[in-house]
Each structure stands twice: as structure tokens, then as C-alpha cells.
């Protein structure tokens, strides 16, 4: 699941790479929900056997991108992305 990949990796990372829990929760929701919607849209466009995903992007990449985007927003908004 793309929604769990980054939260799992950053749980073992140094504290400077972590974001507040609310951002991780939103990242997990976005990384799981968006690929499900992407799969539904692809199935509606091409059928279950040959899905035609929007922009020809696989749902896994969309989920990872959404998770990274929310994680980056969390770093910037929490002030952790700034240099000392």
C-alpha cells in the first residue's frame, strides 16, 4: 500500500525527518484513498481487464506521490524544512 510506505520508513528515520502525526494521518488517507479512486476511474474507462488509468499513471505511483506531497507540506508547515 502506498499510503503506508512513507509513514513506515519515516518511523525508523531520525526525528528531523518526521512530521507531526496529523500530517502522517492525512498522508496515509491520501496515499490509500487516491489510488482507490484512480483504480475505479481506470476501470470505468476501460473495464476491469484492461483499465485505462487517467494520465496513464499506475495507482501505486499516484498514491506514493500524494503521500510525499502531504509529507513535504507537513515538513514545510511545521518549520522542520528550514535550515537553522
Q: What is the DSSP string of 27-84?
A: HHHHHHHHHHHHHHHHHHHH-SSS---GGG--HHHHHHHHHHHHHHHHHHHTTTTS--
1: three-class secondary structure by DSSP: coil
pLDDT on residue 79: 76
pLDDT on residue 25: 95
Distance CA 6, CA 56 (A): 23
- pLDDT one-digit tens code per residue, 1-56: 788 888 889 889 898 888 999 999 999 999 999 999 999 999 888 877 778 899 98
Residue 59 has pLDDT above 70, yes or no: yes
Amino acid at each position: 500500500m502506498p499510503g503506508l510506505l512513507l509513514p513506515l520508513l519515516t518511523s525508523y528515520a531520525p526525528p528531523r525527518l518526521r512530521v507531526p502525526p496529523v500530517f502522517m494521518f492525512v498522508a496515509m488517507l491520501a496515499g490509500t484513498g487516491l489510488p482507490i479512486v484512480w483504480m475505479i476511474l481506470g476501470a470505468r474507462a476501460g473495464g476491469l481487464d484492461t483499465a485505462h488509468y487517467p494520465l496513464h499513471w499506475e495507482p501505486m505511483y499516484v498514491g506514493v506521490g500524494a503521500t510525499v506531497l502531504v509529507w513535504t507540506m507537513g515538513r514545510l508547515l511545521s518549520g522542520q524544512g528550514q535550515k537553522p
